[in-house]
Chain A
Amino acid sequence: MTQDDIFQKVAGTLVEALNVDEDQVTPSSTLQGDLGAESIDFLDIVFRLEREFGIKIPRNELFPESIFQGDPEFVKDGRVTSKGLNELRVKMPFADLSTFEQNPTLEGISDLFTVNLIVSYIESKLRAQAAA
């Protein structure tokens, strides 16, 4: 499956789960900001992706519910520390942190969750599945 195939399927899933128009879904769309996803929608999206791609998505893997659990070592004065950034890299190796790193505010975390992030995640899952 090519990256574009994955994107098309992910976009279709989001159209169904979030009731958005197909042309609203671009690779850089953020799920909450641009597509209006709420917390329950994240569960629904996970569920639909499992069915669409025939994969298992453990709870908190694609959308960790609380990344830092208020740990002061990870977040200080509303900003993610370098230790926090490392934690993000470990927990979400499929996330593109290049823009976020330049201004790692706590509020900015929700913008990490883009359509592209889901595509990268699915790619990594399918790769792991093929290798197994």
Chain B
Amino acid sequence: MRWIWIDRFTSFEPGKSATAVKNLSLAEDHFADHFPGYPVMPAPLILEGLAQTGGILVGDANGFTKNVILAKVPRAHFRRDARPGETLTYTTTLQQMGDVGGLVAGTVHAGDELIAEAEIFFAHVPPEQFKELTGTDNFVFSGNLKNLLGLARAASKG
């Protein structure tokens, strides 16, 4: 399954901030059911896009050697719905990095309008515990997400 909820990084400053955009198309499956006749993006998917933008920031801080998982969303506000045809801009800043993980603050804009904001706490999971849970050493930064990393690096050069 493709589980990539951002389309492109527009800026990436290691250790500081990352910005990505997501174009919403009516062809996306979730709009069919959420809701019939009134398509709006499910808020958790908006949060997922924000977490993918910010999670890469946290992973990058340790050269992607640590497993980073979304542990907790201490705070989230959704101000209005996101609709097909809109472009969402996910802006994340790294608030704090430590042994246990990283804290990211993020905003979601549609055009100039702030439509959501959240704080996301990512935890580092030690390899032995991770293997126990998933059977692999590094699950988070593999496959599809590795491709995204390429995009992030490209954005940081541009």
What's the least CB distance linking B94 to chain A, in Å?
13
Can you sample 28 A-B contacts with CB below 8 Å? A17-B74, A19-B74, A40-B121, A40-B123, A41-B72, A43-B71, A43-B72, A43-B100, A43-B101, A43-B123, A44-B71, A44-B72, A44-B74, A44-B121, A46-B98, A46-B100, A47-B96, A47-B98, A47-B100, A47-B103, A47-B121, A50-B96, A50-B98, A56-B98, A57-B99, A58-B99, A59-B99, A59-B100
Q: Given the complex, which residues of A lie within 8 Å of B103, measured CB to CB?
A: 47
B99 to A40, Cβ gap below 8 A? no
Given contacts A44-B71, A59-B99, 12 further A-B contacts (CB under 8 A): A40-B121, A43-B71, A43-B100, A43-B121, A44-B72, A44-B74, A44-B121, A47-B98, A47-B101, A50-B96, A57-B99, A58-B99
Q: Given the complex, which residues of A lie within 8 Å of B99, measured CB to CB?
A: 57-59
Which residues in A have some Cβ–Cβ distance to B below 8 Å?
A: 16-17, 19, 40-41, 43-44, 46-47, 50-51, 56-59
Which residues in B have some Cβ–Cβ distance to A below 8 Å?
A: 71-72, 74, 96, 98-101, 103, 121, 123
What's the least CB distance linking B146 to chain A, in Å?
26
What's the least CB distance linking A109 to chain B, in Å?
20
Q: How far is the CA of A61 from the CA of B26 in the complex (A)?
A: 50
Q: How many A-B pairs fall under 8 Å by CB? A: 34
Residue of B74, B100, B103, B123 with highest tally of chain A CB at under 10 A: B100
Q: How far is the CA of A17 from the CA of B75 in the complex (A)?
A: 9
What's the least CB distance linking B41 to chain A, in Å?
25
Nearest B residue to A50 via CB reads B98
What's the least CB distance linking A17 to chain B, in Å?
7
Nearest A residue to B96 via CB reads A51
Q: Given the complex, which residues of B lie within 8 Å of A50, measured CB to CB?
A: 96, 98
Residue of A41, A44, A57, A58 with highest tally of chain B CB at under 10 A: A44
What's the least CB distance linking A32 to chain B, in Å?
16
What's the least CB distance linking B100 to chain A, in Å?
5
What's the least CB distance linking B56 to chain A, in Å?
19
Q: Given the complex, which residues of B lie within 8 Å of A41, measured CB to CB?
A: 72
What's the least CB distance linking B9 to chain A, in Å?
26
Residue of A16, A44, A47 with highest tally of chain B CB at under 10 A: A47
B72 to A40, Cβ gap below 8 A? yes
Nearest A residue to B129 via CB reads A65
Q: How far is the CA of A40 from the CA of B121 in the complex (A)?
A: 10
Q: How far is the CA of A1 from the CA of B101 in the complex (A)?
A: 27
